């Protein structure tokens, strides 16, 4: 555990990519296979659950630290992280030194679900008494299934590839999918070739970079395909060994969530893997993302939901045909194969092809780009005809040219302290626009978009201009104006403003504007009329 806690702290401390890869690589080279397996489990975002009640854990920790619950809560407010708070308040009296490894602790935690509350209490307290502060912190994250670390899957794959001298794309493929650390091991999963290959396993997505400068900089227009950039859920549809799997980006196996697409298992040739976008679709045309949003995250897809937000798949690439990985074929060849498969399938309003945008020179695209929203698209995808299907975000062959977000100038009126890295700083803001009665009406919350220096300045302002306190929320003197960008806008009965915006974020701080010069609710409703 010591080694893993140290790795965690070191990773946490640096924001240099190479240093992170180096740290993980060292770990993968030195830890036991069993520990590596668990580390990989955590680094790939898998969080085993041990059925513990957070409230109980808080109470046990407060009792052990001999402090009342309110003081625990105040401490938690200040730290912003429950696992860390507990690790800090517990008495620093290690009764015995523990040399349990990461996997030992996972097995230790694995006993919890079958225990009574009293046994759980003793079990957890015994663990705390054996661990240092840092180790307790990591242990708590495992205990409560809240382990998160600032390393992307790509970095984990790079480190693992370097540590095992394996091709990164092979490793990326192997760590994906539906494995469980309890019934596989490091050798099977990472080292063994082809063995245990799981029919469900998706390919890593190829991700586009935002275009830099003008599109004409890409050279000869004839070398490129252009498609609309659809606003849905990036998905991979796999049909192998008579079974259909639907993966969404973020590596979630979501087959059950899209029953409309299940018919594909009876029409796709065996050994097919398609890349595309799942969008909500109505009367033969895509709908805004907000429609799709109504069914995301629902456990039960009622008949009503399925009727109100039906989906379709818009295919734009093919990675596997007849069981053969064709990612090294050119975009043009793959496109031809995709078109062939699409042509052979009868039910085409649910299985669509992402059509190519016709253009002969770059300037044509400049004319078309502003019509993206009318086409329910977020802009263009520009793909080099000779490009292979690559792994992760790579520059050069796939570009995205997004439309500018919608935006409005709004006044900061409420603030709340952040958590984690931003604990103790006011970083969560609520913004408002002017209503007809001259009152500020909140319409969006936003967390990101400011630099650290700006966050410091805004925090400084807030701490000196608090008007009222409501629990953790502070009412702030309405003075600061920010340009708030968002991707979509919709009517909403849940919000006071009657409006809900999608992906609100701060575009910039309008230091040049006074609160009175911010936009009005009427402005916001104007945007709604145009784009709903």
Partner 1 sequence: MSSDYYWHAFIEFVVMASQPVLQFTGKSIYCAQADAHIDPWIPVDRAIITHAHSDHARWGSKHYLAHKDSEAILRLRLGPDISLQTVEYGEKFVINGVVFSLHPAGHIIGSAQVRVEYKGEVWVASGDYKLEDDGFAAPFEPVKCNVFITESTFGLPIYKWQPQQEIFSEIDNWFAQNKQEDKASILMGYSLGKMQRILKGIQLPDGPIYAHGAIYILNERLREAGHDLPELTLVTKETDKKLFRGSLVLAPPSVDSSTWISKFNPYSLGYCSGWMALRGAKNRRAVDQGFILSDHVDWPDLNTAVIESGAEKVYVTHGYTSIYSRWLNENGIEAGEVTTMYGNEEETEDRATGEGPEAEGIENNKDISPVPDDPDLKLS
Distance CA 259, CA 313 (A): 12
Rule CB under 8 A: is residue 424 a binding residue for partner 1? Answer: yes
**Closer of 209 and 460 to partner 1 (Cβ):** 460
**Coil, helix or strand at residue 286:** strand
**Closer of 83 and 488 to partner 1 (Cβ):** 83
State the nearest-atom distance from the C-beta of 482 to partner 1, in Å: 17
**Closer of 134 and 495 to partner 1 (Cβ):** 134
Interface segment toward partner 1; rule CB under 8 A; list 51-59, 355-363, 414-422, 497-505:
414-422
- Is beta strand 505-509 parallel, antiparallel or unpaired with respect to 406-417? unpaired
Cβ partners under 8 Å of residue 331, min gap 6: 225, 317, 383, 384, 385, 386, 387, 388, 389, 397
Rule CB under 8 A: is residue 487 a binding residue for partner 1? Answer: no
Residue 357: φ, ψ to 5°:
-80, 125
Lookup: tokens for 366: 């400049």
CB atoms within 10 A of CB 295: 18
**Closer of 369 and 477 to partner 1 (Cβ):** 477
Distance CA 203, CA 216 (A): 31
Please give, one letter per residue, the 3-state secondary structure of 331-343: HHHHHHHHHHHHH
- The answer to whether 528 and 491 have CB atoms below 8 angstroms apart is yes
State the nearest-atom distance from the C-beta of 452 to partner 1, in Å: 7
**Closer of 12 and 192 to partner 1 (Cβ):** 12
Distance CA 486, CA 98 (A): 50
- The answer to whether 139 and 117 have CB atoms below 8 angstroms apart is no
Distance CA 530, CA 292 (A): 20
State the nearest-atom distance from the C-beta of 514 to partner 1, in Å: 21
**Closer of 65 and 253 to partner 1 (Cβ):** 65
# residues near partner 1 by CB under 8 A = 35
Q: Which of 423, 473, 527, 528 binds partner 1 (CB under 8 A)?
A: 423
Q: Which of 55, 92, 469, 470 binds partner 1 (CB under 8 A)?
A: 92
- The answer to whether 228 and 380 have CB atoms below 8 angstroms apart is yes
Cα–Cα distances in Å, from 507 out to 44, 281, 372, 410, 484?
31, 31, 21, 11, 6
State the nearest-atom distance from the C-beta of 413 to partner 1, in Å: 20
Q: Which of 218, 425, 432, 524 binds partner 1 (CB under 8 A)?
A: 425
Interface segment toward partner 1; rule CB under 8 A; list 47-55, 272-280, 448-456, 524-532:
448-456
Rounded-to-10 torsion of CA 368, 371, 373, 377 = -30
State the nearest-atom distance from the C-beta of 264 to partner 1, in Å: 45
Handedness of CA 129, 132, 135, 140 (dihedral sign): positive
Stretch 119-148: interaction string toward partner 1, x if CB under 8 A: ------------------x-----------
Rule CB under 8 A: is residue 88 a binding residue for partner 1? Answer: yes
Rule CB under 8 A: is residue 511 a binding residue for partner 1? Answer: no
Stretch 451-480: interaction string toward partner 1, x if CB under 8 A: -xx--xx-xx--x-----------------
- Can you name the residues that pair with 509 across neighbouring β-strands? 482
Interface segment toward partner 1; rule CB under 8 A; list 115-123, 242-250, 341-349, 418-426:
418-426
**Closer of 74 and 167 to partner 1 (Cβ):** 74
- The answer to whether 515 and 481 have CB atoms below 8 angstroms apart is yes
- The answer to whether 253 and 224 have CB atoms below 8 angstroms apart is no
Distance CA 46, CA 67 (A): 33
State the nearest-atom distance from the C-beta of 242 to partner 1, in Å: 49
> In the chain, what is the straight-line distance between the N-terminal and C-terminal CA atoms, in Å?
53
Give the footprint of partner 1 on residues 26-85 (CB under 8 A): 65, 67-68, 70-71, 74-75, 78-81, 84-85
**Closer of 48 and 80 to partner 1 (Cβ):** 80
State the nearest-atom distance from the C-beta of 48 to partner 1, in Å: 23
State the nearest-atom distance from the C-beta of 136 to partner 1, in Å: 13
**Closer of 140 and 329 to partner 1 (Cβ):** 140
Distance CA 350, CA 261 (A): 7
Chain residues that interact with partner 1, rule: CB under 8 A: 12-15, 65, 67-68, 70-71, 74-75, 78-81, 84-85, 88-89, 92, 137, 419-425, 452-453, 456-457, 459-460, 463
């Amino acid at each position: 555990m010591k080694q893993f806690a140290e790795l965690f702290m070191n990773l946490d401390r640096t924001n240099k990519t190479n240093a992170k890869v180096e740290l993980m690589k060292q770990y993968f080279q030195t830890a036991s296979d069993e520990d590596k397996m668990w580390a990989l489990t955590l680094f790939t975002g898998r969080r085993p659950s041990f059925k513990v009640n957070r409230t109980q854990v808080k109470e046990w920790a407060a009792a052990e630290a001999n402090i009342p619950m309110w003081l625990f809560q105040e401490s938690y407010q200040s730290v912003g992280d429950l696992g860390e708070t507990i690790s800090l308040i517990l008495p620093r009296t290690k009764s015995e030194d523990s040399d349990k490894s990461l996997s030992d602790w996972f097995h230790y935690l694995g006993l919890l679900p079958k225990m009574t509350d009293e046994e759980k209490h003793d079990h957890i307290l015994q663990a705390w008494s054996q661990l240092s502060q840092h180790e307790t912190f990591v242990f708590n994250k495992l205990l409560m299934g809240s382990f998160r670390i600032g390393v992307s899957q790509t970095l984990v794959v790079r480190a693992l590839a370097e540590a095992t001298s394996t091709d990164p794309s092979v490793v990326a493929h192997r760590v994906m999918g539906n494995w469980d650390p309890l019934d596989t091991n490091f050798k099977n999963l990472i080292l063994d070739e082809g063995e245990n290959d799981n029919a469900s396993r998706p390919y890593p997505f190829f991700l586009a970079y935002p275009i830099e400068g003008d599109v004409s900089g890409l050279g000869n227009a004839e070398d490129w395909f252009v498609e609309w950039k659809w606003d849905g859920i990036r998905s991979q549809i796999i049909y192998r060994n008579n079974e259909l799997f639907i993966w969404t980006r973020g590596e979630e196996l979501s087959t059950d969530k899209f029953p409309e697409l299940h018919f594909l298992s009876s029409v796709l040739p065996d050994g097919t893997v398609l890349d595309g976008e799942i969008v909500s679709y109505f009367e033969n045309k895509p709908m805004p993302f907000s429609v799709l949003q109504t069914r995301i995250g629902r456990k039960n897809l009622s008949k009503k939901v399925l009727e109100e937000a039906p989906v379709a798949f818009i295919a734009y690439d093919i990675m596997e045909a007849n069981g053969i990985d064709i990612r090294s074929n050119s975009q043009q060849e793959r496109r031809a194969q995709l078109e062939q498969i699409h042509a052979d399938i009868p039910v085409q309003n649910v299985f669509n092809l992402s059509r190519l945008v016709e253009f002969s020179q770059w300037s044509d695209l400049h004319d078309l780009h502003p019509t993206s929203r009318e086409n329910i698209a977020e802009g263009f995808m520009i793909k080099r005809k000779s490009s292979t299907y690559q792994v992760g975000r790579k520059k050069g062959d796939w570009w995205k040219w997004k439309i500018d977000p919608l935006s409005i100038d709004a006044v900061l009126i409420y603030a709340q302290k952040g958590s984690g890295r931003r604990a103790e700083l006011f970083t969560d803001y609520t913004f408002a626009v002017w209503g007809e009665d001259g009152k500020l009406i909140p319409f969006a919350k936003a967390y990101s978009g400011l630099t650290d220096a700006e966050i410091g300045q805004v925090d400084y302002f807030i701490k000196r201009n608090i008007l009222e306190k409501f629990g953790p929320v502070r009412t702030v003197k309405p003075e600061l104006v920010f340009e708030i960008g968002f991707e979509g806008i919709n009517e909403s009965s849940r919000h006071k403003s009657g409006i809900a915006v999608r992906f609100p974020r701060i575009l910039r701080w309008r230091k040049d504007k006074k609160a009175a010069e911010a936009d009005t609710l009427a402005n916001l409703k104007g945007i709604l009329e145009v784009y709903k």
